Amino acid sequence: MRVECEKPSFLGGQNMQKQVNLLPNEIPTKWYNIQPDLANNLEPLPPPKGEQAKNLPNLMIGTCLEQEFSDQNWIDIPKELLEIYMKAGRPRPLFRASNLEKKLNTPAKLFYKSEFFSPTGSHKVNTALAQAYYAKKQGIKRLTTETGAGQWGTALAYACALTELECTVYWVRAVHDWKHDRRAFMQMLGAEVYASPSNKTEAGKKLYNKNNKHPGSLSIAISEGLEDSQNHSDAAYTLGSVLNHVLMHQTIIGLETQKQFEKIDMYPDIMISCLGGGSNFGGFVLPFVGDILTKDKQIRFIAAQSQSAPNLQGKYKYDYADHAEITPQLKMYTLGHQTDFKPIIGDGLRYHGCSPILSLLRKHGYIDTIAYPIDEKYVFERAMTFMQTEGWIPAPESAYSVACAMDEAMKCKRTGEKKVIAFNVSGHGFLDIHGYKEVQGLK
Amino acid sequence: MRVECEKPSFLGGQNMQKQVNLLPNEIPTKWYNIQPDLANNLEPLPPPKGEQAKNLPNLMIGTCLEQEFSDQNWIDIPKELLEIYMKAGRPRPLFRASNLEKKLNTPAKLFYKSEFFSPTGSHKVNTALAQAYYAKKQGIKRLTTETGAGQWGTALAYACALTELECTVYWVRAVHDWKHDRRAFMQMLGAEVYASPSNKTEAGKKLYNKNNKHPGSLSIAISEGLEDSQNHSDAAYTLGSVLNHVLMHQTIIGLETQKQFEKIDMYPDIMISCLGGGSNFGGFVLPFVGDILTKDKQIRFIAAQSQSAPNLQGKYKYDYADHAEITPQLKMYTLGHQTDFKPIIGDGLRYHGCSPILSLLRKHGYIDTIAYPIDEKYVFERAMTFMQTEGWIPAPESAYSVACAMDEAMKCKRTGEKKVIAFNVSGHGFLDIHGYKEVQGLK
């Protein structure tokens, strides 16, 4: 009877369904931690190493540190946090890209997950809220972080506002100075935002005093965020990607998607998302990777990347997560932590390394990758077709996910295969329209 | 049994619910047309008058014209259009403003409807999609319109993209020239966008040839849109507010909200939204007004306005809908169609007249109004509190709705009344952050 109630019924059957959603009370109540399934089916996840690894307990929020190395497959999402997820609009719909299919004249069935309904514009809120929630429980008063493109800083500012924590964001000056709207947005959410290098930390001052217009870098901003939290016992430092607990928090995306496919009696043949550090990709696919490892399922996973930083095509080795070698070393696919990458609009994809979990899966052949040209014309043209057929403006990073899904749909057109292709649209582009204008030459 | 299936169950009862939503198959399948209920319970709606009224059949989309004067209470939403509504993310959640209640320490229960999940940023898509759908059915190839703030132009551009129609937008040059991102957004959706006065129409050319930087006005842009469609038999002109059929299309908002309140066994005591021409306010409240007129229900309806253009405090009389006297005269509350209004950030509220349906209800005492100061500080400060507690950035117009709801919640604090207050957040402010910055003095 329950199944009958849930099944979409009114539009002439399931295949007509343009949107699949869950009710708030159907939200997944546990995160999926893939670590034990990796250990049992492939090999254990290589731990972080180096002197800095010993210092983790002083840097990280307690519960997040436990989760980082947990051997439990399923971890309860606290009830209060579930309520906050609902306030953030979860569950989020899974859309059938029916207009896009028609436009491409493909026999493939395309579905996309709508992380673009996020209050700050990206999937980053899923872990920001979890980290802020646990920090609050632990009695922490303030969270510090760095941000590059600004998505993570905005998400943390939002999460701190909702959990009544203070928030300090060190933002790479070169970006801080021209993203006026995103900066105001963080401030409106109550965050203190400093262009980095700033004169608020010793690490920053050294550079700031020499040049108060120093453009900064992600590694300098990391140093500032870390120093700020180390010097204040009621503050903690947070990270928005790469780490195991971050990917686990993001599995809410894939777990919802699984339930949504169950509702329409379908299962994806191909799953696609963009990949920088790996948090949206991991959150989307890991619950399905679990199916592959433990059940008799087959899915092709494709990471959409930029030729600017195709980290999954790098080397699998221990490397630092940051330029300044402040973090422990992680075993991951990396292009080298001191490599310079050409600027792209999809700045969130411009990172040297990939999450250890996804790197291990890559090593074992579970994840394919495609890297798109640096000029981004190919990608943004496809994002425009998506906009004009499906109506949503993807974030520049998510445009890569869209482009890759369209490429796979066109392959199906040539072969006649009716594959089910699922892709994640990890954020919206309302704050990035200037980037589209630049690439598309609009006036 | 059905009720049991639908009731949110997992979070310790209904009052814990932070979000109430419907599944896509629970979307309302008919619009509510209040006209017969007005005629039977109050008085018939005064028809448009003047020479121009005779010309309506040549100007309007056929089905929309029928709907404009329909005596049917319920009008089927075509199945294909329902599917498009789903692609646009409908149904949209009803949120409990639990954090805001806590912040205000009010016994009132606050709920807000999330039209901010719109693909273009506002509720305008609800009628844009309907008008584009009917135009397409009628064999029309292209829709023309004017836009002021830009929300309506964007919504129509979006609707035309999804229904494969061409779209021409005449945009008041004074706004067109500085809203770069919104302009690019319309273009990315495939619309032709002209600064008005343009050199594309006779009406425009006269002014453009004298001064190619003429700032334009809404009435000039209306003239251009009308002329363009009159001179091309495969084109039609569209309007985004005020008219009966527009408000009827928008009742999807209130009909969803009714179902959502039914799910949690609650009913609003007060309903609030901002009001310019009246389309979001009408769409939100009219189904509930129907309850008041025909059932034994009581609700206080409040329109949140600006002192720049408090049209509900004007005179109830026949007046033109536009400055240039091109439209028929409508019986409505008006401040005079040639009045100048001081600029405000919430530009969508700066209109001289109010929809005839809402004006009739106002005349009979069903709608209260409050007008907020022109400097907008009072309103935007409240919108910031909403952002910092609930996490969503309201459109500048919707900030008025938020402020009014908070005022009513504070009254409840003083009286101890546990009123249920429902307000509509008709759009998001991602493309209007500069406006917040200006009013709040952010750097």
Q: Does the predicted interface ipTM exceed a cut of 0.90? A: yes
Q: Side-chain half-sphere of B310: how many Cα atoms within 13 Å? A: 13
Pick the residue of A5, A188, A263, A381 with the most B CBs within 10 A to test the interface with B by mutation.
A188
Residue B424's nearest CA partner among B268, B295, B306, B248 is: B268
- Planar angle of CA B173, B185, B130, nearest 5 degrees: 95
- Asked if A348 contacts A276 with a C-beta cutoff of 8 angstroms, the reply is yes
The continuous run of DSSP H or E covering B155 comes out as helix B151-163
CA distance A200 to A192: 11
Percentage of chain A exceeding pLDDT 90: 86
Pick the residue of A179, A185, A390 with the most B CBs within 10 A to test the interface with B by mutation.
A185
- Please tell me the predicted confidence (pLDDT) of residue A16: 56
Question: What confidence tens digit (pLDDT) does each residue in B126-160 have?
Answer: 999 999 999 999 999 999 999 988 999 999 999 99
- Planar angle of CA B31, B35, B41, nearest 5 degrees: 125
If you average pLDDT over residues B259-273, what whole number do you get? Answer: 97
- Please tell me the predicted confidence (pLDDT) of residue A40: 97
Cβ pair B5:A8 closer than 8 A: no
In this structure, the number of other CB atoms found within 10 A of the CB of residue B410 comes to 14
Residue B10 pLDDT greater than 80, yes or no:
no
Question: What confidence tens digit (pLDDT) does each residue in B204-253 have?
Answer: 999 999 999 999 988 899 989 999 998 999 999 999 999 999 999 999 99
In this structure, the number of other CB atoms found within 10 A of the CB of residue B71 comes to 9
Q: Side-chain half-sphere of A56: how many Cα atoms within 13 Å? A: 21
Cβ pair A117:B121 closer than 8 A: no
Token digits of residue B118? 């719109």
Question: What confidence tens digit (pLDDT) does each residue in B17-68 have?
Answer: 799 999 999 999 999 999 999 999 999 999 999 998 888 888 889 999 999 9
- Fold (topology level) of A32-38+47-79+123-237: Rossmann fold (3.40.50)
If you average pLDDT over residues B1-25, what whole number do you get? Answer: 57
- Please tell me the predicted confidence (pLDDT) of residue B41: 97
Total residues belonging to chain A: 443
- Please tell me the predicted confidence (pLDDT) of residue B16: 56
A:B CB pairs within 8 Å: 171
Burial of A96 (0-12, 13-18, 19+ CB in 10 A): buried
Residue B131's nearest CA partner among B167, B185, B102 is: B167
Q: Considering CB atoms only, which of A18, A187, A436 is closest to B87? A: A18
CA distance B203 to B199: 9
SS3 A253: helix
Total residues belonging to chain B: 443
At B8, the pLDDT band (50, 70, 90 cuts) reads very low
In this structure, the number of other CB atoms found within 10 A of the CB of residue A317 comes to 14
Question: What confidence tens digit (pLDDT) does each residue in B391-419 have?
Answer: 999 999 999 999 999 999 999 999 999 99
At A9, the pLDDT band (50, 70, 90 cuts) reads very low
CA distance A145 to A408: 37
Residue B339 backbone zone (phi > 0: left; psi -120 to 50: alpha; other: beta): beta
Burial of B365 (0-12, 13-18, 19+ CB in 10 A): exposed
Average pLDDT value over all residues in chain B: 93
SS3 A338: coil
Backbone angles phi, psi at A167, to 5 degrees: -140, 130
Q: Is the peptide bond before A46 cis (omega within 30 degrees of 0)?
A: no
Question: What confidence tens digit (pLDDT) does each residue in B69-109 have?
Answer: 999 999 999 999 999 999 999 999 999 999 999 999 999 99
Residue A13 pLDDT greater than 80, yes or no:
no
- A17 chain-B contacts, CB cut-off 8 A: 24, 86
Q: Considering CB atoms only, which of B6, B20, B119 is closest to A392? A: B119
- Please tell me the predicted confidence (pLDDT) of residue A61: 95
Cβ pair A162:B389 closer than 8 A: yes
| Domain A19-27+89-122+251-440 identical in fold to domain A32-38+47-79+123-237 | yes
Find all residues with CB under 8 Å of A262, minimum gap 6, and list them.
none
- Asked if A196 contacts A204 with a C-beta cutoff of 8 angstroms, the reply is yes
Question: What confidence tens digit (pLDDT) does each residue in B344-392 have?
Answer: 999 999 999 999 999 999 999 999 999 999 999 999 999 999 999 999 9
Residue B1 pLDDT greater than 70, yes or no:
no
Find all residues with CB under 8 Å of A130, minimum gap 6, and list them.
A64, A77, A81, A249
Q: Which CATH class is domain B19-27+89-122+251-440?
A: alpha beta
- Please tell me the predicted confidence (pLDDT) of residue B76: 98
Burial of B348 (0-12, 13-18, 19+ CB in 10 A): buried
Question: What confidence tens digit (pLDDT) does each residue in B276-301 have?
Answer: 999 999 999 999 999 999 998 999 99
The β-bridge partners of A319 are A330
- Please tell me the predicted confidence (pLDDT) of residue B3: 33
- Please tell me the predicted confidence (pLDDT) of residue A10: 36
- Please tell me the predicted confidence (pLDDT) of residue B326: 85
Residue A8 pLDDT greater than 60, yes or no:
no
- Please tell me the predicted confidence (pLDDT) of residue A187: 96
Pick the residue of A10, A82, A165, A425 with the most B CBs within 10 A to test the interface with B by mutation.
A10
In A69-124, alpha helices (H): 79-87, 98-104
Q: Considering CB atoms only, which of B184, B189, B430 is closest to A388? A: B189
Residue A244 pLDDT greater than 60, yes or no:
yes
Classify each residue of B237-267 as buried b or exposed e, where b means 16 or more C-beta atoms within 10 Å of its C-beta: bbbbbbbbbbbbbbbbbbbbbbbbbebbebe
Distance from CA of B188 to the nearest CA of A (A): 6
Cβ pair A433:B185 closer than 8 A: yes
Pick the residue of B20, B379, B430 with the most A CBs within 10 A to test the interface with A by mutation.
B430
pTM for the model stands at 0.95
Distance from CA of A29 to the nearest CA of B (A): 10
Cβ pair B25:A18 closer than 8 A: no
Cβ pair A430:B86 closer than 8 A: no
Question: What confidence tens digit (pLDDT) does each residue in A192-202 have?
Answer: 999 999 999 99
Residue B325 pLDDT greater than 60, yes or no:
yes
- Planar angle of CA B435, B436, B437, nearest 5 degrees: 90
At B442, the pLDDT band (50, 70, 90 cuts) reads confident
Average pLDDT value over all residues in chain A: 93
Residue A5 pLDDT greater than 70, yes or no:
no
Cβ pair B430:A121 closer than 8 A: yes
Specify the amino acid at residue A346: G
Question: What confidence tens digit (pLDDT) does each residue in A126-174 have?
Answer: 999 999 999 999 999 999 999 988 999 999 999 999 999 999 999 999 8
Residue A2 pLDDT greater than 60, yes or no:
no
Q: Considering CB atoms only, which of B11, B388, B391 is closest to A83? A: B11
In A1-45, alpha helices (H): 2-6, 35-41
Q: Where are the domains of chain B?
A: 19-27+89-122+251-440, 32-38+47-79+123-237
Q: Is the sign of the CA dihedral B282, B288, B293, B299 positive or negative?
A: negative
**In Å, how far from its chain's centre is CA B443?**
31
Distance from CA of A61 to the nearest CA of B (A): 23
CA distance A255 to A259: 6
**In Å, how far from its chain's centre is CA B140?**
25
Cβ pair B188:A390 closer than 8 A: no
